[in-house]
Amino acid sequence: MIMILKRFPWHIPIFLAPAFCIYGLFSAIPLIDTLRLSFFVEDAHGVRSFSGLQNYGFLFRDPIMAQEFWNALWVNCRFFMINMLVQNPVALILAALMATAKIKGVVIYRTAIFLPTLLSVVIVGFIWKLILSPVWGVGETMMSWVGLEAWFGPWLGQQETALVTVSLISVWQYIGLPMILIYAALIGIPDELLDAAYVDGSRPLRTFFQIQLPLIYPTLGLVTILTFVGNFNAFDLMYTVYSGAGGGPEKSVDLLGTLFYRTFFGFASQIGSTTMGATVASLMFVIILAGVAAYFFFIQRRLLRFQY
């Protein structure tokens, strides 16, 4: 009897090793250390000691910390909802027009809309600060071209309009990413399905809503969860537009990311604390993990049945 020994596929771990090492070094190990640090307290001499859940108790019981945390969480939820209600529907409309309508120069439009996604957040924040500045900005002049100069105001400096304004700046920069994903899903639908609908007398609008849209539900779900993760990790745009992690006018744009930065490194008269900063970061991780887990367990399974 001749036994054929199956060789172990060494090429698989060899090819996976670089990605595994980079992920572990720059993502997994810092995350585990942050979670560990949240269970310690630090005295004035920098000596750390294990404290269990004391930091979490302090965060939720201290009036100032609790108010800042719940305010940041609420602002973050509103930031996410504005992006969901504006960015993704507009991206869907743009992708549908490019994929189904006979528009000339689609490549140019697609590139122009996607281009801001490639820009640095620092550049985008600085550009919009220049445009919307009520002192030297060109926003009022540009609105006067269409007779809307009376509507112009210091939107970034007002508590009522700051969050909406920054959210729309974020939408302007990142709308190209969901648009490209949805566009790729639409043009990937087999032509046989669309031809069958056309032969059956289905009009374009009905074909889109009853055939194409259900078939891209998995992609829309992916776009939603990417928006959720990106918005709850947002920090750099707020930091750039308001030149720091102060949270804007009356903390109206204070996200969890800016609260973490302020707690960890300190800001103005506030002294930073590495252990309390790690506690805020750990709660951010738990919130994002809960959202992603809820999506995979309750939503993705239902969306997968629409795959073709």
pLDDT in tens, the chain (308 residues): 455 556 788 888 899 999 989 988 988 999 999 999 999 998 888 788 998 899 999 999 999 999 999 999 999 999 999 999 999 999 999 999 988 767 788 889 889 999 999 999 989 998 998 899 888 888 888 888 988 888 888 999 999 999 999 999 999 999 999 999 999 999 998 888 888 888 888 888 888 898 889 889 889 999 999 999 999 999 999 999 998 888 888 889 999 999 999 999 988 778 888 999 999 999 999 999 999 999 888 877 776 666 65
Tell me the pTM. Answer: 0.88
Bridge partners, 270 (sequence order): 267
The rounded distance, in Å, linking the Cα atoms of 274 and 40 is 10
What contacts 220, CB < 8 A, 6 or more positions away?
88, 92, 182, 303
From the list 17, 56, 10, 180, the residue with the least C-alpha distance to 112 is: 180
From the list 185, 180, 182, the residue with the least C-alpha distance to 307 is: 185
Residue 306: its pLDDT value, please? 60
Residue 270: its pLDDT value, please? 80
Residue 76: its pLDDT value, please? 95
In order of start, what are the domains of the chain with their CATH numbers?
Answer: 50-304 (1.10.3720.10)
